[in-house]
A and B are shown apart, each in its own frame.
Chain A
């Protein structure tokens, strides 16, 4: 699947750009080589490097599902030079894409279990394909509880999908913001507090959480307070990456490479690192 030289990107055309929040855009891409368009496979949790040629490349998690064949999507938050350059691009532009890299959420292993999704801000991006995969295979999973949190209502990503998610069978969507605006009637609470408030049972449940490090730290504590064990809590680690294949050593943590052995880890694995995450 990967190109013969994994340092060389595939060329992709930017098909559509959707503003998800004031600083996050959804980029929908199509590979330019027709033979690849139907064969390009990737799984929820995996990532690719996007090149803004001349500026550089950076890693982004896939937010689409390969089998839906509705384009390859990434949520890009404007935060550095590469993301700023990607935000400038208009449909029709060429972007380099290298990947897929990394491991993925073992969704096959989670069949029959309740799934508790906890996302904060751009952290919802890699969780969106997990949610949509479960909804596409609804009968095979238990209850689905989703907490999507952000700083303000405008910062909640994937708002146009909230209805679909909330209406799906055995699915509960809980939105929360740090600070609401005049139209906001929902929760104003930090994500970890909502975890504690909703009290989902840890029995036969997998919690998957992505978000800023501080949110992860307190969410972990909240989950433990509810009785979740480290091997029931899954996250993606964010590390600086340059190669994506265990060479450049940028993403090395202990005897693992986040790009290759991750980005998906259980807290059981993370707790074994000498470094604190």
Chain B
């Protein structure tokens, strides 16, 4: 017997939860699906059949731009730190996006923890939706994930004709599920889709030997520095910190950046230890595939394929991984 929740019950449960929690869920408007905050009267707007959101859910914990603190110029500057919102439920996560969050956790929750991120993270429960019809560019199974991978979620829902199968993996998830109206049913679990495989295994070991190959300069040449790849990536987390002044109020703001931006490493005075376009471009791939793994135990890619879909010049991580495998130096 399996515990399931019907679609109607799921929506009314969410409506009820929305009284206490902020609900962030996929909503489609004008053909674009994004995670949005939905109130209890807007639960019907949630798109339960979306394929993948345009932007990853990292925005919720790590907004594109956030005020770290504000200073009001009194006699002595007083620092008024940014405050945090109420508890939240991030609903309708694809398993790869949950992994994206887990990867950012590794860096941002490492000592000393990023307090701004941690506060939002601690207050959020992650409810996932298994993927039964993946997108063309999905390759999660090549990088250790899968369409019904529940490792990084609190709860996973899998759709069947009888309703959604509910699986809680964490204490937080179990607690929350106790309030959900579920029924015991005899269910045949759906067949999971199989995805195209790329050869990502062993990629970390192969990266060092192709570091000085002209390949990186050549592929970088067509990159237009739009940074879309990093912005849509569920696990890219480079950021910038700047001060802004308006009407006597000083704000310190952090915003998304990308390590492949020109000038990312340029020091005051002009010296740049990483001066070329190819070197900036290479850094992003090396951080993902070589530098991150020994520190945090995994390559920094979830297989969501958003960068593949979004890059205006068709730079494709699947191709890069495959090319590195093929380059025999």
List residues of A whose CB falls within 8 A of some B CB: 2, 4-9, 11, 32, 51, 53-58, 79-83, 94, 96, 212-213, 238-240, 242-243, 245-250, 252, 254-255, 274-275, 277
Contact = CB atoms under 8 A, between A and B. Distances in A.
A7 B266 contact: no
B241 A53 contact: no
B265 A239 contact: yes
A94 B267 CA distance: 25
Interface string B110-137: 1010111000000000000000000000
B77 A11 contact: yes
Given A53-B250, A56-B243, A94-B77, A250 B269 contact: no
A254 to B, nearest CB: 6
B115 A4 contact: yes
Contact of B245 (A54, A80, A238): A54
Given A5-B81, A7-B116, 5 more contacts: A2-B112, A5-B115, A32-B76, A255-B294, A277-B273
Nearest to B258: A249
Interface stretch (B52-60, B173-181, B232-240): B232-240
Given A57-B241, A252-B287, A79 B268 contact: yes
B264 interface: yes
* Tier of interface size on chain B: 35 or more
Nearest to B104: A247
A175 B226 CA distance: 49
Contacts of B271: 212-213, 238
Contact of A55 (B76, B114, B243, B286): B243
Contacts of B264: 240, 250
B202 interface: no
B76 A245 contact: no
Given A245-B112, A274-B208, A275-B274, A8 B265 contact: no
Contacts of B292: 255
A274 B211 contact: yes
Nearest to B279: A275
A76 to B, nearest CB: 11
A246 B291 contact: no
A7 B68 CA distance: 8
A53 B77 contact: yes
B268 A82 contact: yes
Nearest to B269: A79
